[in-house]
Structure 1
C-alpha cells in the first residue's frame, strides 16, 4: 500500500494531502468546541458551521501560499513544521475574526484548543507518513555507529539519514558528560563502552567523523576499535569539504595517517612560503607520487611559474589537468608549463631551465622500486645516478639558485642497487656543492611513503578485497613510514633551510612492523586473520621471503651524531663525502661500464665507492642473467665495422 502511494503522480499526492488536512481541520474545530463545552456530541449552529468552513478554506489557502504541499513528506524537515505552525496560528486568528464578524458563538479558549489540535493533526499525519515511508528504507540500511558527536558527526548523521546505504544508530563520544544522552534521536555512548554498545545496537560498520580541531589520540582509538572486527571507515577532511572535492557522506577507507599512528610533521609555512612565493620553480618527475604532491603544495605558495618536467605523457597530462583546476578554483594565477623530457638528457634540462629562468629545482625523478631496479641495474643507474648528475650540471649552467634531491632511507648502508644508486646520487651532489657555490644543493632522506605507487598499504587493501592472502616478505620486517603530503612538506622545508651539501632526515618516531600493519588493516576492514588457531578466519597473512636486495631493517642515518635544525622534527647530517675529482673519475668508470652493459663492473664500482653498498644476494639483472653481456659484445664488434 505504501509503495502504491509513493508511485502515485505528484498531483494525486497533493490532493490526498489537501483532503487529509480539510478533514482533520474540521475535526479539530469540532473537537475544540466539544472539549470546551464538555459535550460528547456537539452539533454546530449554522453560523458556527459557516465560520468553521471559511476557516478551513482560508487555512488550506495559507498552507498553499506557504508551500506546505510542495514539501516531499519523506524528506520533511524543520522548515515544514515551522510552516505548519505559521499556518495554524493564522488559522486560529481567522477563527476569532470570523466568529466576531459573523456573530457566531466562539468561546475565547476554542481558538487556542483548535490551534493545538490542528498542529497535532496536520503535523502528526505528515510525521506518521514519513515514519511509515522511511521505516522500510531504514531496515534495509546498514547499521552504523558514528565516532564523534560534534558538528562533523551530526552533519554525517543527517546526510546518512537521507541516503540509502547507511543508517546511523549510535554516536560514540569522548566526553563522559555526554554518555547516555541523545543527539538527533540517537543514543550517545562513551567510547569506553564501545564493545557493549556495538553488540547491543547490532552495529555493522563504524564511521570516524572527528572534528578537525579535536585532540583525539587516533592511535589509541584504533587500538580500541581493532578487536571488534567491524569495518572502520572515515569521512573526508574539512578542507576537502570546503573546496568541494568531497561530500560529508563520501565514506572511504581509513586515512593513511590513521594507520600510521602518529601526528604528521608540520612545516614552517612562513619559511617555505618565503622560498617559493613569486619564484620560478621546476619539479622533475612531476607526475610521480612525490613529484605530484610537491606540485600540489608548491602551487598553493603562489610561485610565478611552475614547470612540470616528466617523461611519462599520461602522468604529465594528469597532473597538469589537476593543477590547472586548482589554479582556477583558488585563483592562484600561477603559470603552469608541462614539459616532456628525461632527466638523463642534460641539454634538454638546461634548455628548459634557461627558457623559464628556473630558480629552484625539486628533483623527484627516480626509479625507486627495489626489486625492479635489481632486475634492471643499468637503467636504475642511468636514471638515479646519471639523471641526477645531468640535471644538477644543467642547474649549475642555467644559474639555478637551489637544487633539492629527494633521497631515501634505503641509501643508508644499502643492500640493493636502488639504495646504492641514491647514495651515489647524494655523493654527486655533495661533490658539486664543494666544487662551486652558486647553486645550493641539499638532499632530503625519508622512509617509505604510504600511498605511493608500490606502497604496501594500497597493495594490502587490494589483496584484502580480493579475499587474500596478504603477502608479507618476512614476519620481522620493519619500516619507517611517512605520508606523501608529509614527505613533500619535508622536502619543501629542506629546500628553504639548506645552505649547501646537507642531508636532511626526519625524526620519524618508531618504525612500523609490516606484519602488524597487515593484521591491523584486516581487523579494521571488519575481517579476521586466518591462522592455524583460527582456520575459519577470512584473510591469511602469507610470508614469501625477502626479495632481492631487501633487508629487514632500514636506517635514516649513517653516522650517530645528527645535528638539530630550526624544525624540531628535522635533523641534519654531513655524512662521508668525496672530492669532486674522485666523484668525476667514478662517474667516468660507471659510464663506461654502463655503455658496455657490464653489470658486474657496475656492481663492483658501487661496492668500491663510499656508498656502504653490501648486496645480500647474487645479481639478478634479467637481461644480464639471460646472456645480455654477449649481445653487447656482438653489438660492439658491429659498431667497430661501421664507417666513421
Structure 2
C-alpha cells in the first residue's frame, strides 16, 4: 500500500499537469465556481430540511434554488471573481471571494424579505442563507488552495532561484508586490520584507520575516536581490539619496516594479526590471503635455537630420504618436540608419517615412532632398560632438557643426519651412573647446536668420549631457566595468548636468511647438552631478565594490574640457515659459551688417580649409571662446613646417 500511494500520486500529477500548465479560460473558472455554488445550495437545503425533520429530501431542483444560483452567478460576474489565474491565488482573491459571497447572501436575504411580504413564504429560511454563505465561501476558497498546492507539487521551487527581499511594508508596496508573493517562480523566491518606516515593526507579513534597515546590513548575504516599487525608488532618490547608496553598497541587485495599470492586472516577476543608472538621476523627471504639439506636427512632412543617432532616433520615435504625414530620416551613417528603419517598419508599419543618406556639408545634395520632400518642419541634430576628437580635428568640427547648420538654415528659408529646430549644447556657453565654439557660432547664425525674416520660425534648444546616448560617459563606464576596470575619471571634482534621452527629446519637440523665433530654450536640469559619484553608483549597480573589485583612476582634464558646465552665458538672462522647467535665454548679441559679413567670411575660411583665418574670425564671432590650446597647437605646427 505504501509503494502504491506514491505511484498513484505521480499518475495523478501527470494527468493534472496539462491543466495547470496552461491558462484555463475564464468561462471555465466561472463554470466551476457556479458548480461549487450549486453544491453549496444543495447542502444548505439538505441541512435545513434535516433540521425541519424532512430527512427524505436528498436532492433539490426547484425555482427557489434557481433564483439563488442566479443571484450567485450574477455576483461572480459583477465582481469578476473568476478573473486571474487560480494557481496564483493570493490574499486579495480571498477578500474578493468573501465580497462575492457577502453580496449574494445579502441579495438573497432582501429577496427573501420581499417574497415573504407578498406571499408569506421565503425561498429558504434566513438561517439557511447564512449556512449557504459559509459553505459557498469555504468551497470557493478550498478550490483555489487545492489548485495552488497541486501546481506547487508539480513545479517545486528550484534550488538555484534567486532569493530577494521586498523593500517596504506599507499598503501600496504590499498591494503592488502581492502577485510576487503568490507567484511560483523558478527565478525568484521572496526571503522577507525590509521595514523602511518609523512606525512599529510587526513580526511577519504573509508568514515572511520583516527586518529593519540595520538588520539588513547583517543579513544581506542571505539574499542577492532587493525588489522596490518605482514610486518608492523615486522618493528615496529625491529625499534620501544616501540611503540608495547604502543599499547599493550591500551588493544586492536592485529591481524595480511598476504598479498594475488595472486592478484586475496581476504583477509577477516578469514585471521586474533591473535598476539602471538612469533611474538614479537625482531629480524629478520632466513630462511635457502641450496641446500645440499635435497642431504643429500632425500631418506634416518632417525632416530629422542625424536621425540614426541616439537623439535623432528618439525624436523620430516621439513624433510618431502625433501622426506626421511623412518623416525624412537623414544621416550619413548607413548601418545605423538601416537599423532605425527596420525598427520603424517592424513596430510602426503604418508610418510613412524615407531614408536619405546625405552629409549636411553637401549643400547640393541637401537641396535635392528639400526639393523632393519639401519638409514643413526640420529638426537638425546632425553634429560632431566628441570634445577631444574635435580638438584634434577643428576644421571638421567647424565644417559640420557650423557650415552644415548654415546649409540647412539657408535651404529652410529658400523652401519656406515652417519651423526649424536646432539641437545645441551646454558646451556652447563660454566655450573652452572647438566643439562648443562651433555650436555657439551656429547658434549665432540661426539667430541672425531669425532676426532678418519672419517666414520661418528658427528655434534653438540647449541642454546638457544625455544619459546613455552614443559616446556618453554611461556606455563608456559600462564597457570599462565589464572589462574588469579600471574606470577612468578625468578629475575628482568634475561635474556635469544630465538628462535622459526621453526628456531631451521632449524638450526639443516642446521647443519646436512653442518657439516664436530666435529663442534659445534651456532646461532646468537641477543640480549637476559629480562624475565620480556616477562611476561609483554604476559599479555598485553591477554588484561590485568601488576601488576594491573595480579600481577608479584619474586621468586629468582632456584638451578643451571644463570642470563645470554652464547652461547660460554670463551676460544672458532668462525668461519663464508656460512650463516651469523650461526657460528662454536672452543673450546680448546685436546683429547688424558687420555681423553678417563676419559670418560669411567665417564660412568661406572653413570651406577653403584656412584654419588660421577661421580661428581669427571665430574669435571675433564668439569673443568668450578661450582657445589657448588650439593656438598653441597651431603655433607648434607652424614651427614644424
TM-score tier after normalising by the smaller chain length:
0.7 to 0.9
Question: What residue in structure 2 maps to residue 196 of structure 1?
Answer: 215
Q: Structure 1 residues 440, 240: CA separation in 2 closer, same or farther (over 3 Å shift)? A: farther
Equivalent in the alignment of 1:609: 621
Give me the whole-angstrom Cα distance separating, in 2, the residues matched to 1:264 and 1:396.
35
Residue 558 of structure 2: aligned partner: 547
Corresponding position of 1:220? 239
Once the two structures are TM-superposed, the CA of residue 325 in structure 1 deviates from its matched residue by: 3.6
User: How much does 1:493 deviate?
Assistant: 1.2
Q: Would you say how many aligned residue pairs link Structure 1 and Structure 2?
A: 549
Residues 467-478 of structure 1: pairs in structure 2 closer than 5 A: 467-478=484-495
Counterpart for residue 166 of structure 2: 146
User: 2:587 aligns to what?
Assistant: 575
Cα-to-partner distance string for 1:474-509 (whole Å, 9 max, x where unaligned): 001111111111111111111112111111111112
Residue 305 (structure 2) pairs with residue 309 (structure 1): no
Query: What's the offset of the Cα at 1:592?
Result: 4.4
Question: For the residues of structure 1 that align with 2:516 and 2:260, how far apart are their CA atoms?
Answer: 34
Moved more, 166-175 or 489-498: 166-175
Query: Does the CA contact (< 8 Å) of 2:341 and 2:355 recur in 1?
Result: yes
- Of 243, 259, 271 in structure 1, the residue corresponding to residue 280 of structure 2 is 259
CA gap of 1:419–1:118, structure 2 versus 1, over 3 A, is: closer
How far has the Cα of 1:576 moved from its partner? 3.4
Deviation per CA, 1:344-378: give whole Å up to 9, x if none: 22233233234333211111111111112112212
Which residue in the other structure is 2:401 paired with?
Answer: 384
1:455 matched to 2:472 = yes
Instruction: Check 1:215–1:167 CA distance in 2 against 1; reply closer, same or farther (3 A cut).
Output: same
Q: 1:129 to 1:501 in 2, by over 3 A?
A: closer
CA pair 15-573 structure 1, distance change in 2 beyond 3 A: closer
Deviation for aligned residue 1:620: 9.1
Residue 110 (structure 1) aligns with: none
Distance change in 2, residues 1:261/1:16 (3 Å): same
Q: 1:84 to 1:69 in 2, by over 3 A?
A: farther
1:489-528 to structure 2, matched below 5 A, reads 489-528=506-545
Q: Is the 8 A contact 2:188 2:269 kept in 1?
A: no
Q: Distance in 2 between matches of 1:128 and 1:162?
A: 10
Question: Within 2, Cα distance between the matches of 1:266 and 1:123?
Answer: 43
Name the CA distance, whole Å, in 2 between partners of 1:240 and 1:339: 40
Distance change >3 Å, CA 463–CA 439, structure 1 → 2: same
Task: Report if the CA contact (8 A) 2:494-2:563 is conserved.
Answer: yes
What pairs up with 1:8-19 in 2 under 5 angstroms? Answer: 15-17=11-13
Root-mean-square deviation over aligned CA pairs: 4.7
SS, match of residue 404 in structure 1: strand
* Gap regions ≥5 residues in structure 1: 19-63, 103-113, 531-536, 631-644
Aligned mate of 2:441, from 424, 432, 440? 424
SS of aligned partner of 1:577: coil
Distance 1:69 1:336 in 2: 49
Deviation larger for 557-566 or 197-206: 197-206
SS at match of 1:562: strand
After superposition, the Cα gap between the structure-2 partners of 1:123 and 1:311, relative to the gap in structure 1 and judged at 3 Å, is closer
Equivalent residues of 1:375, 1:620 under 8 A apart: no
TM-score normalised by length of structure 1: 0.72
- Identify unmatched segments of 5+ residues in structure 2: 48-54, 59-134
Whole-angstrom distance in 2 between the partners of 1:116 and 1:481? 55
Q: Separation in 1 of the partners of 2:472 and 2:260?
A: 25
1:398 Cα offset (Å): 0.7
Tell me the CA shift for residue 407 of structure 1. 0.5
TM-score, reference length from structure 2: 0.73
Give distance in 2, aligned partners of 1:409 and 1:101.
Answer: 88
In the alignment, what sits opposite 1:538? 549
Q: Does the CA-based 8 Å contact 1:420-1:611 persist in structure 2?
A: no
